[in-house]
Amino acid sequence: MKKIKTALLSYGMSGKVFHAPFLKLHEGFELVGSWERSKKLIQNDHPEVTSFPTIESILENDTIELIVVNTPVATHYQYAKKALQAGKHIIVEKAFTTTVAEAEELSALTKEKKLKLAVFQNRRWDSDFKTVQKIVNDGILGELVEAEFHFDRYNPNLSLKQHKETVNEGAGILKDLGPHLIDQALYLFGYPKSVFADIRLTREHTQVDDYIDILLYYKEFRVRLKAGFFVREANPAYVLHGKKGSFLKPRGDVQEDDLKLGEKPNLDYWGTESQTNQGVLHTEVDGKVIREKVPTLQGNYYDFFDGVYNAIRNDAPEPVTAQEGTPVMQIIEAAIKSSAQQQIITL
């Protein structure tokens, strides 16, 4: 197996927690290092790798095939374009870009250069979402009437990271947690007919949006996506109502918390939720009404990286393509317009 030599463009929380552990676990990748501007931290965890002083030192390294663009959102387009122009495959963190035009340009450039671009929508591989996906695909709720996805937290304090709290094209919850919710909705239900959104600033002294309520209009049903920082008592993360029954699932995926604690991912029990977070299914099967807990499927972000490996080495489709990342940006732009005009936006 020829390893894919891979470099990160940042070794903050994203690089340390979400990327490096899986690049080290997958035998098809070799983590060669990260661009580090001021803090030189990667060699504390991985002494064998290189701390690159500039992005040029990565782009000019002919042995590096894959670059992970995990810098602040406002820089994604700039760095992704440079990497593609240098002939590198890329993984781009969410939000994919800051505008639809940027997303479309990167998608076209990827095709022109015959390279691979994967958008890091890792929440498709959360245990709770995978369970919701199975419920939807099994059709056990009957024809859907409505669905509601939440990514709620209680944190009234502003982040210490300046790029997250100062006004810029990539700041705000809409482009932070919003892409997770929007991608999951599009992945399950496809592209909606129209969008209505309410985007607000709720924390004291905040300069960027920290509350979103997005309503996606489909022909026969509606999907509501919500995220905010003032939810001390959590709602179910996923609520689905169909003409036969309902499914409610609390957010329970353990991967991010375990990774932050320094636990190393594996291929056996990784991403296994506690049974206390099982979802409740209340529906009708063969004329009989049932109400029961549903075992949660196992999650594992490894599958995303395995998909990237197969895309590069075996010319398979990327696990999340640029063509899938672009509609997320279209929904974001429509949501911004809808909130500003207080109108439904037809797509």
Residue in 40, 34, 45 with CA at minimum distance from that of residue 10: 34
The Cα–Cα gap between 20 and 8 comes to 8
- What is the token pair recorded at 32? 């060669």
Handedness of CA 47, 69, 168, 341 (dihedral sign): negative
Note the pLDDT tens digit of each residue in 72-119.
999 999 999 999 999 999 999 999 999 999 999 999 999 999 999 999
Alpha carbons 57 and 37: distance in angstroms, whole number: 12
Among residues 75, 102, 79, 104, the alpha carbon closest in space to that of 90 is found at 79
- Residue 15 has a pLDDT of 97
Task: Give the pLDDT score at 153.
Answer: 93
pLDDT (0 to 100) of residue 268: 95
β-strand partners of 276: none
Q: How confident is the model at residue 38 (pLDDT cuts 50, 70, 90)?
A: confident
Cα dist from 187 to 26, 94, 179, 223, 328, whole Å: 25, 15, 12, 12, 10
Q: Where in the chain are the domains?
A: 4-122+304-321, 126-299+331-346
Percent of the chain surpassing pLDDT 90: 97
How far apart, in whole angstroms, are the C-alpha atoms of residue 62 and residue 78? 20
**Mean pLDDT calculated for residue range 55-77:** 98
What the block records as the tokens of 101 is 């035009």
* pLDDT band at 303; cut points 50, 70, 90: very high
Positive or negative: CA dihedral 77, 80, 84, 90: negative
CA distance 92 to 97: 9
pLDDT of residue 119: 98
Q: Environment class of residue 222 by beta-carbon count within 10 Å: exposed (0-12), middle (13-18) or buried (19+)? A: middle
Would you give the DSSP letter of residue 16?
I
Segment 291-311 shows an average pLDDT of 98
Cβ-in-10-Å burial (0-12, 13-18, 19+) of 287 comes to exposed
Average pLDDT over residues 300-312: 98
> Of 240, 226, 230, nearest to 188 (Cα)?
240
Q: Which of 45, 57, 51 is nearest to 20 (CA)?
A: 45
The pLDDT of residue 163? 86
Query: d(Cα 21, Cα 18) in Å, to the nearest integer?
Result: 7
Task: Give the span between the Cα atoms of 53 and 158, in whole angstroms.
Answer: 30
Q: How far apart are CA 255 and CA 20, in angstroms?
A: 14
Q: How confident is the model at residue 159 (pLDDT cuts 50, 70, 90)?
A: very high
Cα dihedral sign, 301-296-285-240? negative
Q: Please give the Cα distance from 111 to 215 (Å, whole number).
A: 33
Residue 287, CA atoms < 13 Å, CB-side half-sphere: 0
Tokens in use for 189? 């239900």
pLDDT at 161: 87
Inter-residue contact 240 to 185 (CB < 8 Å): no
Q: What is the pLDDT of residues 213-270, one digit of tens each?
A: 999 999 999 999 999 999 999 999 999 999 999 999 999 999 999 999 999 999 999 9
Domain spanning 4-122+304-321, CATH architecture: 3-Layer(aba) Sandwich (3.40)
Quick: pLDDT tens for 177-206: 999 999 999 999 999 999 999 999 999 999
Residue 146 pLDDT grade (very low, low, confident, very high; cuts 50, 70, 90): very high
In contact, 191 and 113? CB cutoff 8 Å: no
Compute the distance between CA of residue 80 and CA of residue 67 in angstroms, rounded to an integer: 9
pLDDT tier, 162 (very low <50, low <70, confident <90, very high otherwise): confident
What's the CATH architecture for 126-299+331-346? 2-Layer Sandwich (3.30)
Instruction: Check whether 317 has a pLDDT greater than 90.
Output: yes
When the pLDDT of each residue in the chain is averaged and rounded to a whole number, the result is 97
CA distances from 305 to 27, 52, 77 (A): 11, 23, 21
Enter the DSSP assignment of 298. P
Q: What pLDDT score does 123 carry?
A: 98
Q: Which residues of 20-41 are buried (b: 16+ CB within 10 A; e: fewer)?
A: bbbbbbbebbbbbbbbbeeeee
